[in-house]
Structure 1
Amino acid sequence: MKTTNQDCPKNSYKKVGFDLKLKIIDEIHNGRISINHASDKYQVSRTSIYFWIKKYATLDQKKQYMSKKDEIKRLKEKIEELEFVKDFQQDVIADMELLTGVDMAKKSLPETLAKEIEKKKQDRLKRNG
């Protein structure tokens, strides 16, 4: 019995002109298409697309394709900043509620945030006597 040895089909890619390269980069940059989808749609390798992005993309576009570590670091910094802003705003609301006697948080904020502000008010009352 003879077995035939079938090779894996090799992807054949076509040569891509400069204008099409820029079009692909632009579509990816504007979020209309992913790199994987562009590779399938235009029959070009992902490696080629990454190379084009590196070679032809503007500085702003290159920033969009930052490494995962850099992106995680940036997002962690943003989370810290937003948590600081949230705590500050809650402190201000708690102080205003103590001064005015009006429960603004319960009326206009989600329940979890209103509970946090209520806790801050209780802590302030304990500290101030």
Structure 2
Amino acid sequence: MKTPKKTTCRKNEYQKVSFDLKLSIIAEINNGQISANYASKKYGISRATLAYWTKKLSNFEGKSKAMSKNDEIKKLRDRIEELEFVKDFQQDIIADFEHITGEHLSKKYLPEALAKEIEKKRLNLSKESGSINASE
């Protein structure tokens, strides 16, 4: 009777994966860029490990998104403030032009709401220039 040869079991060698790589792999899977099976083959990581990372890192991503949402809100508010300043400046220029030339181009070419705002600015400008002329 032959005795079977002892075959040595191959011990799994585990690799350390950086936190950034974990996040990028999970992001690829969550965004639908690659499947979990393909990621498992591509990076040599078991599907169970990928599922574990997904579960654990979902909380981390939620916290980082909350912070980024606050940052995004702040940036958007700053942008709104900047655009309102630009809009007011442009309206002042249009009102000055209409006051000097006597043409009311805003009524012809701009939406009604903007035309009304410019009309108010033009009237205020004429009142101010009238009071300046009266004091001279």
Count of matched residue positions in the alignment of Structure 1 and Structure 2: 90
* 1:71–1:91 Cα change, 3 Å: same
Cα deviation, 1:73-111, whole Å, max 9, x if unaligned, reads 111101100000000000000011112221111111111
Normalising by structure 2, what TM-score? 0.52
Give the RMSD, CA atoms, in angstroms.
Answer: 3.4
Tell me what 1:24 maps to: 29
Q: Secondary structure at the match of 2:103?
A: coil
Amino acid of the structure 1 residue aligned with 2:29: I
Q: What is the match of residue 100 of structure 1?
A: 101
* Matching of residue 48 in structure 1 with residue 48 in structure 2: no
Identity %: 51
More helix, by proportion: 2
1:31 alignment partner in structure 2? none
Structure 2: which amino acid aligns with 1:92? Answer: I
CA 1:23–1:68 in structure 2 vs 1: closer, same or farther (change >3 Å)? closer
Question: Which residue in 2 is equivalent to 1:119?
Answer: 120
Describe the superposition over 1:98-125 as per-residue Cα deviations: whole angstroms up to 9, x where unpaired: 1222111111111111000000000000
TM-score by length of 1: 0.54
Alignment partners' CA distance in 2, 1:50 and 1:84: 40
* SS of residue matched to 1:67: helix
Q: Which runs of 5+ in 2 are unaligned?
A: 1-21, 33-50, 131-136
Structure 1: runs of 5 or more not aligned: 1-17, 29-42, 53-61
